[in-house]
Amino acid sequence: MSPDLAMVIAAVALPFVVAALTPVVFRVLGEGTGFVGTVVALTSFGLLATQYGSAGTVGLEWVPSLDLALRFYVDGWALLFAMLACGIGALIFAYSPAYMHGESGLVRYYAALLAFMGSIVGVALAADLIAMFLFWELTSLASFVLIGYYTADDSSQYAARMAMLITVGGGLFLLVGLLLLSLVASDVLGPDAAFNLAAMLESPETMQTALRERGLFLPVLGLLAIGAGTKSAQVPLHFWLPNAMAAPTPVSAFLHSATMVKVGVYFIGRVRPMLVSTEWLFLFATLGLTTMTVCAIMAVASTDIKELLAYSTASHLGLMVAGFGFTSVYGAETGVFHLLNHALFKAALFLVAGIIAHEAGTREIDELSGLRHDLPVTAVITVIVALSMAGIPPFNGFYSKELLFEAAVEASQHHDIGLLGWLYPAVAVFGSIFTVLYSLRFLSLFFGERPEALGHVHRPPVTLLVPPAVLALLAAVVSVDPQLAVDAIVQSGLEATAVDPHEMHVGLPTSYSPALGMSAVTIGVGLVAYPSYGRLHDAIRSIPRTVPPIEANWWYDTAVDGLSGEGRVFAETVHDGTLRTYATWTLTATCTLALAGFVAAGAIAPTELGVEVSLAIALVLLVAVIGGVAVATAESHIAGVLTLSILGFMVAIFYILASAPDLALTQLVVETLVLVIFLLVIEEIPERYEVEIGTVARDAVLSVLVGATAFVTVLVTTGTRPDGSSEIARAYAEQAIPRGGGANIVNVTLVDFRGFDTLGELAVIALAAISILTLIVMRDRDGDRTATHDGDELTGDDSAGTSSDGGDDE
Amino acid sequence: MTGIVLAAAIGTLFALGTFLLLRRDLIRVVWGLAIISQAANVYLLAMGGIAPATAESVPILAGHGEHVPETADPLVQALVLTAIVIGFGMTAFALVLSYRVYEEHDTLDVTELGESE
């Protein structure tokens, strides 16, 4: 069954439309706007659900001749991700009103959340590389707005900037990768498929062979990996994610655990069939397992519950990336299934963290304990989702982690990858041990003695409890009957991401396998090591204190501070407030670039230099240049003005000699007016202005540079012009009488063919006249001028307007 | 090939304009702008090709468009005409602005003006 265009477009567009209407909705409903968001999310979810089971591309034609279209691609993987975003979005919107109660700036908050949800559905369904990239960057933008929600808080602004810099910067790498991909696709699959991701995925082998033949396989793989890695917080660019916890908790649960950070993982899964290979295995398995282990260790070192969950999120993202990195079908199963499982338990855990922070007033792990007395329902929820995160059987996290172990074992058995074949399973187990540790630590917040220092803990309102409870319930359902989830959606997601999909079966193991042994070791060592959690925690924390460069944050700060310092110095040098400096830098840069461009293009070739102007023109130009020299060396203002007029009138004569009488007429009128205005102004200012001359030599050098550039440009550009008039000019000449009704080509062009240009020109003159009038009236308010001069100035400007008209009418 | 004379003249005018642009006297800066825009206009016209002027060579059609006279490119002429008028507007505005600056700050020295801010 092929998807229905209207339904798909409605599902993507609805959140954006409501986001635009948020200010109106908020005015009516106030803090209840969140529930409107829930309705929107559920509607989108429902629209997507109607497409369940369909697969294919639908598109809205835009420019058919260029094959530009807004295309959407629907399959199991896209639907899984899009519906996950809408489903969790609905819960987050329901959770927000109670959590954000009494905050200001809620319009911005809800609008950004809704726009974000639309973008994430867009990323999931985009079948076009351009659309995908746009939606991808939109999610980064929404994330920036939401992380920086507390605008008065410096640390949240810092975190927002960091997230923006890293994810959008990574997005640029992705863009280059996508463009390379489209170049190859338009070669191999025809120009129609240049940006069509769906078409590329239909012939993955052809694409991979073509990429390899052109030597672009590794560059494309690397660029896409950087894009996906920054978005999905992979080491070493993971550090923005823990900082992003400055956002309100519902945002962290939605964007920074369940959806936005999974866009990278989603994309890796999307292009997996096209790029899967040995290099793919090395790159993504190594990247993913490193992230998984490093971030799990960092999570153990955390002191704040949201920080713990953030590092844990990065760690689980690493698990998914590693899953997709393994080339076997188990790898794809890991990625798809864990994407679902992680969204269920991690979003719930964030919402639990939000409840704790909201009701207990602190997020410090050391200050929290024995919360089950105050928060019994939350405690039950946490037991399910924390054990799921730890991967303890029979909770749902166990099944997908088991699949990762299977994939790692399969890779070491069936691929000749040497030492890595041992290292991959070992690292997977090692990292998972830390996962068990921090999961138990989070769970322990609810058990043990209730500390005295902890003040009164409020009962959370029901709207805070229902969303995590729904997620925990779903997690429990998947735990009890994982095959249900597999049949419902995971299988179809697998078919889109695996190279050789087969019927997927998940359940509690009934016989021994290496993977089961690895799970047993993980859980066993985790439980044994848990009593020494405090010592581990302190030991890990002491490392960055002694060696700061080991922290990714340190690199970021150093780089950004260094760059801003450089930027400030540069700006102060170039923009120091004096006109001379601006002119010097601009002109030098322009001339250097222009000359370099001519040299690079090989335009400066020794051609024969003709003297193709008549003696009369040469003489007129000579007088004009002499006039210019006289202006430059004039001692008094009056001498300068008069010599400037000589230059202007010479140019007018040049126009006559160059067969452009209309220009000559205009120039004569304008020149006369300028002379009059100059004389009027000069009357009011000192006759000569003494300025010390100290930098003449430097100015002369710059002037010669500009003059030389102009000289070369004139030679180069006028030398290569086509013979005779341009095509447009010929067309104008032919059409002047039949269509313009006038014999003077220039005037018909001005008032008829290019009438709007002339209109714009008149607007400029009118604006100048109004500005001049304003300046003079302002002066008059000071009361030190008479009105007679205003009249003169105004007359000058009025005649300026008529002069241009006069020129046109000639 | 337009010829070295035109190129040299335009180049010299640009150089002179730049030199004036870098002066500290605001009025001279305005002169510099005026000279540069004149030179740019000449350059634009030269790009369209210059036909020597005779009594016949005006961009005016004799009959019903059968014979198009050999002139400087009429399209470029129209563009330059617009540029001349706009250049005039700019010069006039810059002048009155300098005058106001002088009224306000009692100086026309751009360096001094830059420092006073």
The count of structural domains within chain A is 1
A175 CB neighbour count, 10 Å cutoff: 17
Written in H, E and C, the secondary structure of A778-804 is: HHHHCCCCCCHHHHHHHHHHHHHHHHH
Residue range of the domain that includes B19: 4-49+70-116
Query: What was the ipTM of the complex prediction?
Result: 0.92
Q: Considering the domain boundaries, does residue B59 fall inside one?
A: no
- Give domain status of residue B9, yes or no: yes
Residue A334 in domain = yes
Give the pLDDT score at A477. 93
Whether residue B95 lies inside any domain: the answer is yes
Q: How far is CA A227 from CA A78, A134, A218, A263, A490, in A?
A: 19, 13, 14, 10, 25
Rg (CA), chain A: 35
> Are the beta carbons of B103 and A779 separated by less than 8 Å?
yes
8 Å CB contact of B72 and A743? no
Q: How far is B106 from chain A (nearest CA, A)?
A: 9
pLDDT of residue A807: 36
Element (H, E) at A74: strand A68-74
Give the structural domain span for A454: 276-530
Which of chain B's residues have a Cβ under 8 Å away from the Cβ of A660?
A: 45, 59, 71-72, 77, 80
Q: Are A291 and A315 a contacting pair, CB within 8 Å?
A: yes
A462-481 residues labelled b (16+ CB within 10 A) or e (exposed) = ebbbbbbbbbbebbbebbee
**What is the count of structural domains for chain B?**
1
d(CA B105, nearest CA chain A) in Å: 12
Cα A325 to Cα A285, A329, A362: the distances in Å are: 5, 11, 39
pTM of the model: 0.77
* Residue A111 near residue A19 (C-beta atoms within 8 A): yes
Task: Using alpha carbons, list the distances in angstroms from residue A718 to A82, B6, B57.
Answer: 58, 10, 21
Residue B60 lies in a domain: no
Q: Indicate whether B25 belongs to any domain.
A: yes
Whether the Cβ atoms of residue A686 and residue B9 lie closer than 8 Å to each other: no
DSSP A131-198: HHHHHHHHHHHHHHHHHTTSTT-HHHHHHHHHHHHHHHHHHHHHHHHHHHHHHHHHHHS-GGGTTBHH
Terminal CA-to-CA distance of chain B, rounded, Å?
49
pLDDT at A135: 94
A 693-722 near B (Cβ less than 8 A): 695, 699-700, 702-704, 706-711, 713-715, 717-719, 721
Name residues 668-687 of chain A within 8 A of B (Cβ). Answer: 670, 673-674, 677-678, 681-682, 684-686
Tell me the chain B residues in contact with residue A769 when contact means C-beta distances shorter than 8 Å.
Answer: 89
**Neighbour count for residue A700 (Cβ, 10 Å):** 14
Higher pLDDT, B4 or A398: A398
Q: Residue A688: its pLDDT value, please?
A: 67
A88 found inside a domain = no
> Quick check: is B65 in a domain?
no
Q: Is A603 within 8 Å of chain B by CB?
A: no
Contacts of A380 (CB under 8 A, 6+ apart): A472
Is A608 an interface residue toward B (CB < 8 Å)? yes
φ, ψ at A331 (rounded to 5°): -60, -50
Residues of chain A with pLDDT under 70: 66-68, 605-612, 688-694, 719-725, 779-810
| A637 neighbourhood in chain B, CB within 8 Å | 27
Query: In one letter, which amino acid is B6?
Result: L
Task: Answer for the pair A766, A802: CB distance below 8 angstroms, yes or no.
Answer: no
Q: Which of B14, B29, B67, B76 to mutate to test the interface with A (most CBs of A within 10 A)?
A: B14
- Relative to beta strand A56-63, strand A68-74 is antiparallel
**Closest approach of A742 to chain B, Cα-based (Å):** 9
All residues of chain B having their beta carbon less than 8 Å from the beta carbon of residue A732 are 74-75
* Residue B41, pLDDT above cutoff 90: yes
Question: Do the chains contact at B92 and A689, CB–CB below 8 Å?
Answer: no
Which residues on chain B are in Cβ contact (under 8 Å) with A695? 22
Of A610, A710, A804, the CB nearest to B85: A804
CB < 8 Å to B27, chain A? 637, 640, 682, 685, 689
Cα A690 to Cα A697, B26, B99: the distances in Å are 18, 12, 17
Interface contact flag, B34 A736, Cβ < 8 Å: no
Selected residue of A595, A711, A756 to mutate for chain B interface (largest B Cβ count, 10 A) = A711
In a domain? residue A337: yes
Say yes or no for a CB contact (<8 Å) between B52 and A804.
no
pLDDT digits (tens, 9 = 90+) for B8-37: 999 999 999 999 998 888 888 999 999 999
> How high is the pLDDT of residue A612?
64
Nearest to A390 by CA among A286, A324, A316: A316
User: What is the domain-level CATH number for residue B17?
Assistant: 1.10.287.3510
Q: What is the DSSP letter of A72?
A: E
